Amino acid sequence: MADNIFVFKVLFAIFIFNLKLFLFSNNCLMKVIKLILVFLQMTLLMISCKEPVKKQILTTNKANYLNKGKSIAQATQLVLGKNLINAIETKGITNALEFCNEKAIPLTDSMAIVKNASVKRVSDKNRNSNNFANDLELEYINQAKIEIEKKGSAKPKIIEDNNQVITYYPITSTAMCLKCHGNTQTDIDSKTLKMIKTKYPKDKAVNYLSNELRGIWVIKMDK
């Protein structure tokens, strides 16, 4: 931003200088050349004036959007996690599936209304077919997987799309998740597995280990 103001000032000074030369020059050819120069500089000035405004939206607010998105994801995760644990404790793991099955999407949707943003969880290996990641999301998933493998965790990502800002956050698996997303032989009991297969015939969300990328949060906010 500071750089852009500096460029603007320099261009403006050159512009004034050339304008003066143009006005006080009596040679005709020189006048034409100067006129072209003045026009060129006016265009440059206009570009340099426009650019900072466009960039400013994201540079100054990038951290704000990332924080806002994070708090939306965390709040949704908290509600989802609490309800899931509660369902497992009161009804057992197999019946808790019903909770995930019927409540997860409506719950994320209602969180979105409360926070005035759209919230979803998507994955490259999805259970619910509505949760399959699109190309942009897959790009982040692949990048996050590499980061987790190298450093143990992945950074969030922010992109701009017309009038919206989209933020991505990693969702990693813990030991608790493996009861429904882990090894089909050793982690998930046969009754639960049978139920998963009935409800989600095309399920891909199994055979995860702890601390693997299970999916991502996608938060869309208006600019």
According to the binding rule CB under 6 A, does residue 126 interact with ligand HEC? yes
Nearer Cβ to ligand HEC, position 201 or 222? 201
Of residues 97, 112, 199, 67, the one with CA closest to residue 120: 112
Per-residue binding string, ligand HEC, 14-53, x by CB under 6 A, is ----------------------------------------
Segment interacting with ligand HEC, rule: CB under 6 A, options 22-30, 33-41, 149-157, 167-175: 167-175
Can residue 118 be called a binding residue for ligand HEC (CB under 6 A)?
no
Within 191-220, the residues that bind ligand HEC by CB under 6 A are 205, 214-215
Q: Which of 11, 100, 144, 166 binds ligand HEC (CB under 6 A)?
A: 100
**Judged by CB under 6 A, does residue 171 bind ligand HEC?**
yes
Token readout for 223 is 């600019």
180 binds ligand HEC (CB under 6 A): yes
Considering CB under 6 A, how many residues would be counted as binding ligand HEC?
26
Rounded-to-integer distance, Cα 181 and Cα 193, Å: 10
Q: How many other CB atoms are there within 10 angstroms of residue 71's CB atom?
A: 12
End-to-end alpha carbon distance in the chain: 19
Residue closer to ligand HEC, measured from CB, 66 or 177: 177
Residue whose CB is less far from ligand HEC, 11 or 166:
166
List interacting residues with ligand HEC (CB under 6 A).
84, 88, 93, 96-97, 100-101, 104-105, 121, 123, 126-128, 131, 171, 173-174, 176-177, 179-181, 205, 214-215
